[in-house]
């Protein structure tokens, strides 16, 4: 499955990785030489050794990476880079030494800082030495002027060599800064994850640490994981990561991150997720685009440490906004693509198949916040949504932090709760009652729910609506079935004076027991004026 051709300018500000000399060591035995690949001399490797390297790096001043021949890389623009194709006969592990072949991305204008990639077997690693011969490239491509051993921009894993189409289908890609992504259970790329987020939406500016080295240990069967270790470095932080990546229904990754701070960090984002949201049914701008909806994700889902299920629809705000959801030992959170109806998108890039990405902590993370950053956008080329965990304790220089978590790239939440109906749509229009003059400054909200917990209710005996708003006046509250569907909807009007956001919280209940997850919404009066 090819990487989407749509560019994301939000990512382009961060693309990179850089070379570090590997720790000295010696081979106990020779790693098999893949046909045609030039591998450097071998060195002993372990994740524990990589952790110690990251620790030592954090104790030293940051050494910025130097791209090879910036004069050449700056001319390998988007179109030129798209013509550089890694030749599958040079795919690592395609000789049977692993089940999932790996191929490599070329450097270019947006990927100037190289990563060095090592193949690992039995605790021994050898670097893949860059050669232009690995790539199909036009005869006049300026990329031919790069020196050997310039490094790569990243790598991807292909489907099993037991599949006839493995050469054209990939399922994981690490490319740019500490970004990576995988296909979901519907076979499509979409949102991305990152190793770490540093000062996202902070006035002093965001920092984008780089994965500077990758160590890939192949899977020996389709049931076994591909193990990828990565060395991370940036002005304020260094780190060592281990990913155990499994291909099943979608993709699952067990992540062990070891972070070492060389400077104070105002906003440290753990397990960051990055996505795109332009508009959906609740905020589609008039005549901006012909398609009904455009987004990689449509909401943030949370499962709190106290067991509450929350759903927060995404916004495309007027200014960058940060929302915080305090918690203690969260059970999980994720950016989800819930709307799977093709006719809601009508787009050839298959937004209805984009994966949802769920984070499950594997340790107790203590007190902190899931923070949601929403950045204004006027096109689908921008990744403008970020979500991550922020520890309550300040991130200070000299700290060593360890976070373990599991990433689920799936079609939906891997931990559904059948006892609760879930939100399937949020709609906003003019307030008031039918047949009467529409009051100024009033919005009508319609929140649709689906689930067996709502079976048995009728129009005459509806569930109760529990609603609170941080300010403003709520009126005309009711719950009603949606005709000719299994859905129920909560309907209410809101009059909010002024331009400040209004935080709304709503769920359906019977007696004191919730029947649905809790719907959270940040209403922006200036964007949803009636």
Tens of pLDDT, residue by residue over 469-508, are 999 999 999 999 999 999 999 999 999 988 899 999 999 9
The CA dihedral of 330, 260, 120, 22, to the nearest 10 degrees, is 170
| Residue 417, in any domain of the structure | no
pLDDT of 41 reads 94
For residues 189 and 101, membership in a common domain is answered with yes
Distance of CA 169 to the CA centre of its chain: 20
Domain count, the chain: 2
Kindly indicate the confidence band of residue 198, based on its pLDDT and cuts at 50, 70 and 90. Answer: very high
Q: Is there a single domain that holds both residue 433 and residue 404?
A: no
User: For 100-132, how does the pLDDT look when each residue is reduced to its tens digit (9 = 90+)?
Assistant: 999 999 999 999 999 999 999 999 999 999 999
Per-residue confidence band for 16, with pLDDT thresholds at 50, 70 and 90: very low
Query: 280, 267, 369: which is closest to 323 by C-alpha?
Result: 369
Among 20-24, 152-156, 436-440, the least confident range: 20-24
With respect to residue 416, please indicate whether it lies within any of the assigned structural domains.
no
Domain boundary among 389, 410, 431: 410
Question: What 3-state DSSP class applies to 351?
Answer: helix
Residue 161: its pLDDT value, please? Answer: 96
Q: Do 67 and 133 lie in a common domain?
A: yes
The distance of Cα 520 from the centroid of its chain, to the nearest Å, equals: 21
Same-domain status, 368 and 470:
no
Span 437-471, pLDDT tens digits? 999 999 999 999 999 999 999 999 999 999 999 99
Q: Which residues of 297-331 are buried (b: 16+ CB within 10 A; e: fewer)?
A: bbbbbbbbeeeebbbbbbbbbeeebbbebebeebb
| Structural domain includes residue 325 | yes
Q: Are residues 381 and 450 in the same domain?
A: no
Residue 151 lies in a domain: yes
CATH code: domain of residue 476: 2.60.40.10
| The residue to which tokens 């991370």 are assigned | 232
pLDDT at residue 497, as a whole number: 85
The pairing of beta strand 473-481 with beta strand 422-430 = unpaired
Burial letters 270-288, b for 16+ CB under 10 A, else e: bbbbbbbbbbbbbbbeeee
Q: Name the CA dihedral angle for 508, 416, 407, 189, rounded to a multiple of 10 degrees.
A: -90
Same domain, 98 and 239: yes
How is residue 271 written in tokens? 């397990």
For residue 119 the two structure tokens come to 């193949």
Cβ atoms within 10 A of the Cβ of 172, count?
23
Output DSSP code: residue 420.
S
Burial of 341 (0-12, 13-18, 19+ CB in 10 A): exposed
Residue 35 pLDDT grade (very low, low, confident, very high; cuts 50, 70, 90): low
The percent of residues above 70 in pLDDT, for the chain, comes to: 93
> What average pLDDT does the structure give for the chain?
92
Would you tell me how many other CB atoms lie within 10 Å of the CB of residue 431? 20
Q: pLDDT grade, residue 148 (50/70/90)?
A: confident
Per-residue pLDDT for 29 more than 50?
no
Beta-carbon count within 10 A of 401 CB: 17
**What is the predicted pLDDT for the residue at 5?**
31
| Residue that terminates a domain, selected from 410, 443, 473 | 410
- Final residue of a domain: which of 410, 430, 465? 410
Query: Does pLDDT of 17 surpass 50?
Result: no
Instruction: Report helix, strand or coil for 128.
Output: strand
Considering the domain architecture, whether residues 80 and 130 belong to the same structural domain is answered as yes
| pLDDT value, residue 463 | 98
Q: How do strand 309-313 and strand 277-279 relate by DSSP bridges? A: unpaired
**Helix (H) and strand (E) counts for the chain?**
4, 34
Mean predicted confidence (pLDDT) in 279-295: 88
Q: Where does the pLDDT of residue 11 fall: very low under 50, low under 70, confident under 90, or very high at 90 and above?
A: very low
Residues 460 and 405 in one domain: no
Residue pLDDT, tens place only, 237-279: 999 999 999 999 999 999 999 999 999 999 999 999 999 999 9
Residue 19: which pLDDT band, with cuts at 50, 70 and 90? very low
pLDDT of residue 285: 78
Give the mean model confidence (pLDDT) for residues 43-68.
96
Residue 529 falls within a domain, yes or no?
no
303 within domain boundaries = yes
Long-range pairs for 381-384: beta carbons < 8 A, 24 or more residues apart? 381/6, 381/7, 381/8, 381/9, 382/8, 382/9, 382/10, 382/276, 383/8, 383/10, 383/11, 383/191, 383/192, 383/274, 383/275, 383/276, 384/10, 384/276, 384/277, 384/316
pLDDT recorded at residue 118? 98
Is 3 inside a domain boundary?
A: no
343 and 438 part of one domain? no
**Mean pLDDT of all residues in 343-357:** 95
Question: Token pair for residue 143?
Answer: 């990329």
Give the pLDDT band of residue 224 (cuts 50, 70, 90).
very high
Would you say residue 362 has pLDDT above 80? yes
Are 122 and 250 members of one domain?
A: yes
109 lies in the same domain as 235: yes
In the DSSP assignment, the letter for residue 147 is P
Residue 320 lies in a domain: yes
Q: Which residues contact 421 (CB under 8 A, 6 or more apart)?
A: 449, 450, 451, 452, 453, 454, 488, 508, 515, 516, 517
Residue range 359-383: average pLDDT? 97
What's the pLDDT at 34?
Answer: 60
Do 270 and 152 sit in the same domain of this protein?
yes
In terms of residue numbers, what domain contains 87?
9-410
Confidence band, pLDDT 50/70/90 cuts, at residue 418: confident
If one compares 528 and 458, the residue with the highest pLDDT of the two is 458
Please state the length of the chain.
530
């Amino acid at each position: 499955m090819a990487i989407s051709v749509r560019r994301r300018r939000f990512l382009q500000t961060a693309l990179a990785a850089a070379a570090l000399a590997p720790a000295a060591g010696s081979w106990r035995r020779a790693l098999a030489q893949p046909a045609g690949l030039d591998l450097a001399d071998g060195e002993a490797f372990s994740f524990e050794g990589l952790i110690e390297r990251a620790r030592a790096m954090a104790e030293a001043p940051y050494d910025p990476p130097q791209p090879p021949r910036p004069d050449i890389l700056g001319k390998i623009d988007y179109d030129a880079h798209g013509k550089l194709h890694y030749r599958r006969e040079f795919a690592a592990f395609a000789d049977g030494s692993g089940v999932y072949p790996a191929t490599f991305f070329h450097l270019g204008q947006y990927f100037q800082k190289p990563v060095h990639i090592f193949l690992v077997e039995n605790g021994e690693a050898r670097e893949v030495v860059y050669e232009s011969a690995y790539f199909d490239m036009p005869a006049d491509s300026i990329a031919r002027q790069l020196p050997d051993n310039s490094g790569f921009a990243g790598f991807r894993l292909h489907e099993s060599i037991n599949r006839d189409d493995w050469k054209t289908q990939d399922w994981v890609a690490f490319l740019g800064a500490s970004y990576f992504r995988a296909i979901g259970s519907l076979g499509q790329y979409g949102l991305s994850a990152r190793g770490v987020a540093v000062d996202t939406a902070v006035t002093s500016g965001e920092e984008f640490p780089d994965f500077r080295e990758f160590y890939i240990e192949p899977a020996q069967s389709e049931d076994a994981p591909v193990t990828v270790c990565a060395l991370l470095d940036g002005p304020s932080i260094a780190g060592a990561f281990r990913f155990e990546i499994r291909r099943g229904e979608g993709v699952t990754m067990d992540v062990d991150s070891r972070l070492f701070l060389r400077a104070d960090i105002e906003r440290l984002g753990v397990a960051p997720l990055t996505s795109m949201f332009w508009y959906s049914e609740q905020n589609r701008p008039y005549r901006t685009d012909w398609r009904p909806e455009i987004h990689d994700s449509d909401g943030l889902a949370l499962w709190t440490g106290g067991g509450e299920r929350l759903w927060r629809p995404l916004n495309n705000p007027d200014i960058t906004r940060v929302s915080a959801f305090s918690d203690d030992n969260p059970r999980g959170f994720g950016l989800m693509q819930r709307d799977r109806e093709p006719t809601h998108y009508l787009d050839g890039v298959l937004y209805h198949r984009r994966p949802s990405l769920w984070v499950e902590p594997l340790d107790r993370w203590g007190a902190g916040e899931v923070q949601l950053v929403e950045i204004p956008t006027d096109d689908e080329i921008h990744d403008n949504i970020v979500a991550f965990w922020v520890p309550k304790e300040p991130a200070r220089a000299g700290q060593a932090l360890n976070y373990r978590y599991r990433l689920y790239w799936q079609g939906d939440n891997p931990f559904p709760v059948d006892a609760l109906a879930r939100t399937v749509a949020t709609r906003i229009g003019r307030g008031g009652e039918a047949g009467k003059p529409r009051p100024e400054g009033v919005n009508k909200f319609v929140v649709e729910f689906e689930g067996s917990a709502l079976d048995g209710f009728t129009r005459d005996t509806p569930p109760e609506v529990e609603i609170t708003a941080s300010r403003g006046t709520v009126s005309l509250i009711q719950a009603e079935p949606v005709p000719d569907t299994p859905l129920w909807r909560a309907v209410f009007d809101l009059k909010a004076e002024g331009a400040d956001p209004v935080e709304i919280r709503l769920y359906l209940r019977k007696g004191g027991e919730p029947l649905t997850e809790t719907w959270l919404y940040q209403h922006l009066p200036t964007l949803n004026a009636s």
